[in-house]
A = this chain, B = another copy of it.
Amino acid sequence: MAVELNKELFDSLISCIASQDSNRALELIKDLHPADIAEIFEEIEVDDAKFLFMLLDSETAADVIVELEDEEREKLLEVIPSEFIARHLIGQMDSDDAADILGDLDDEKSDEILSHLTDLDQAGDIVDLLNYDEDTAGGLMAKELVAINENLTVKQALGELRDQADEIDEIYYLYVIDDNNKLKGTIKLKDLLFSSTNKKISNIVDPDVISVRTDTDEEEVARLMGKYDLVAVPVVDGIGRLVGRITIDDVVDVIREEAEEDYQLMSGITQDVDSSDSVIKQSRSRIPWLLIGMFGGICGSLILGYYEGDIAKYAVLALFLPLIAAMGGNAGVQSSAIVVQGLASGDVDLHSVSGKLFKEFKVGLLNGLVCSMIIFLYNLIFADNYALTITVSTALFAVIVFATVFGTFIPLLLNKLKIDPAIATGPFITTSNDIIGLFIYLMIARLVFGYFF
């Protein structure tokens, strides 16, 4: 059974590297999965990674390269000769992995590696794949698949399969094509295996196949595969010819990335960072939202400045400023998050925008009522200031209702405008709700306090 990486093993490896003890280092990593070796590489300096890398056999080395994060991979490939990469690494990879990796390198290095490839079929496949946008089905797909002509018999197909299968690690479905290479359907391997050998393929093909086009967006591919529980999906070109297949492992990565992206947008982080990134990179990814938040805070201070006289006169008003601002932000984020998740799930939209907004209005009314009742009672008991009591509860009610509806409206609007609606959960909506909340609060305060005093 495979050995999993742990801290102890990692520390031993570090000391092997320090003493350049190749034998012991190889001993330590030889039973590790490539994904674990890649994890180690991400924690050490590139020269140390190179030292370990050169100990690996070609197949493991290629798998490790595939598993590495883009940044670490680029660094490592830079210190390895192009010829070695072409001969010993790219040759071991599926076309989609090879294309992803070459696509991330600069053109010069990529061309140099391609020129050293001896398998011209593979080189051709890779160059083909490099033409597709990496966020589309074309950018995700691999060229390796088993395609069988519909005119063959089961016996001929089994022979064909034997010839083609050598190159392919996992076979999920066999794709059936006509003489023009057009996709006609699929056959499960087990059905081929247990059909009588002189049957024609066209008689046992399952024509109900879900396929995607090369230009289908990768998130749509992920949605389809998830919804229809597919482990692989064929990719066709504009006129229905079979050009590749996408397997579920690539799509799992898309799902994870998509979720992480939405998560980061909501938490106000602008690029893909993790805790192992440098202080500078971490800081750069967070500063933008902090600046937007600060800009919002400055706008807030200008609104408050306009009411400074009221605050000087009734300082007690200031006590509930943070509460009002925070509640507007909270209610808005909740609504936006629900809309964003709904849009991301890709469920078919069977309701009208006005219907959704009206429903949110009702949710806002209910939540606003509950919260404002509580703060009303609290202030009635503890505050001993009727004007304040009325102001805070009325304003809180208005702010929650407004923020709830606004938080639903903005992502729907962004989506209509073909902008990623997840942006709404980030800085923009919280900051605007903060500011609008303050404005509502102070307007109501002026009315109420004017009446009472």
Contact = CB atoms under 8 A, between A and B. Distances in A.
A170 interface: yes
Number of this chain's copies in the assembly equals: 2
Which among A190, A330, A347 has the greatest number of chain B C-beta atoms within 10 A? A330
A139 interface: no
A300 B273 contact: no
Which among A190, A207, A289, A347 has the greatest number of chain B C-beta atoms within 10 A? A190
Contact of A326 (B248, B273, B297, B367): B297
Interface in A357-386: 359, 362-363, 366-367, 370-371, 374-375, 378
Nearest to A352: B7
A67 to B, nearest CB: 9
Interface string A202-233: 00000111110000000000000111111100
A419 interface: no
Interface stretch (A85-93, A123-131, A333-341): A333-341
Contacts of A228: 2, 33, 35
A54 interface: no
B318 A321 contact: yes
Contacts of A273: 338
A36 B210 CA distance: 13
A349 B90 CA distance: 31
A132 interface: no
B315 A274 contact: no
A331 interface: yes
B350 A43 contact: yes
A447 interface: no
Contact of A333 (B259, B268, B308, B351): B268
A294 B375 contact: yes
Interface string A157-174: 000011001001111100
Contacts of A320: 297, 301
B312 A315 contact: yes
Interface stretch (A70-78, A111-119, A249-257): A249-257
Interface stretch (A19-27, A148-156, A279-287): A279-287
Given A274-B342, A434-B322, A290 B331 contact: yes
Contacts of A49: none
A154 to B, nearest CB: 13
Interface in A315-331: 315-327, 329-331
A304 interface: yes
A142 interface: no
A323 B301 contact: yes
A210 B291 CA distance: 47
A311 interface: yes
Contact of A371 (B209, B290, B316, B349): B290
A5 B349 CA distance: 10
Nearest to A165: B190
A180 interface: no
A264 B345 CA distance: 14
25 contacts: A1-B209, A7-B350, A39-B347, A162-B194, A171-B190, A172-B172, A193-B193, A226-B252, A231-B231, A248-B252, A259-B260, A259-B263, A263-B263, A269-B337, A274-B345, A275-B342, A294-B371, A297-B327, A300-B323, A301-B320, A305-B319, A308-B316, A312-B312, A322-B322, A322-B325
Given A259-B263, A269-B334, 20 more contacts: A1-B209, A7-B349, A33-B227, A35-B228, A162-B193, A171-B190, A231-B249, A259-B259, A263-B266, A263-B337, A269-B338, A275-B339, A279-B362, A279-B366, A282-B359, A290-B367, A296-B326, A301-B323, A311-B311, A326-B431
Q: Which 3 A-B pairs have the closest CB atoms?
A: A297-B323, A267-B337, A259-B259
